[in-house]
Homo-oligomer: A and B are copies of this chain.
Amino acid sequence: MLPRRYPWEQCSIASTLEIVGDRWTMLIIREAFFGTRRFEDFHRRLGIARTVLSDRLGRLVADGLLRKERYQDAPARDEYRLTDKGSDLWPALMALMWWGDRHATDGPPPVVVVHRGCGGTVDDRRVCTRCHAPLGPRDVLVSRGDPAAAAASTGPGR
């Protein structure tokens, strides 16, 4: 979402969508929460065009949602990690996921978010269904598909 598209809008929802409201940005952020950090991995997992990915990652770094971190010299290689600003999108992602589980997906949720060490799941207010603790991105494990595999997951990035 390039140059302010809704300049007349006085609304934080519109302001947020100017940054993350295009077709790919939210999915890139989601991948980042799932632990993806490198260009090639984002490209593979999302199937996004390389040009668009390059542009979006650059924009997310410029906007301060991701930060580039050198993980190897010779050749220079950087990975992209969520900043605090980017991590704060977790509530929005959980809300979108909750809606999709209810209304856009048939059958059981394809991705399960589990309270690390407790085993409860995250409800629509990001509170553990078992121990009722309020949860943040670092309190949970994410499992693609199989809930039982959650315990073996590497958990979210950051």
Asked if A32 is at the interface (CB within 8 A of a chain B CB), the reply is no
> How far is A95 from B9 in the complex, measured between Cα atoms in Å?
18
**Complex contacts, A70 vs chain B, CB 8 Å:** none
Check if B88 sits within 8 Å of A99, measured CB to CB: yes
- Say yes or no for A93: interface residue by CB 8 A criterion: yes
Report copies per complex. 2
Taking residues whose C-beta sits less than 8 angstroms from the other chain, chain A's interface range is 35 or more
CA of A8 to CA of B45 in the docked complex: distance in angstroms?
Answer: 10
Contact A102–B124 (Cβ < 8 Å): no
A96 close to chain B: CB less than 8 A = yes
Contact at A91–B97, with CB atoms within 8 Å? no
Q: Which of A5, A15, A88 has the most CB of B within 10 A?
A: A15
Stretch at the interface among A17-25, A54-62, A71-79: A17-25
A105-B144 contact, Cβ under 8 Å, with A1-B23, A95-B91: no
CA distance A11 to B47 in the complex (A): 14
Q: Chain B residue with minimal CB distance to A9?
A: B27
User: For A26, what are the chain B residues with a Cβ–Cβ distance below 8 Å?
Assistant: 13, 17, 21
Question: Could you tell me if A93 and B127 are in contact, using CB atoms closer than 8 angstroms?
Answer: no
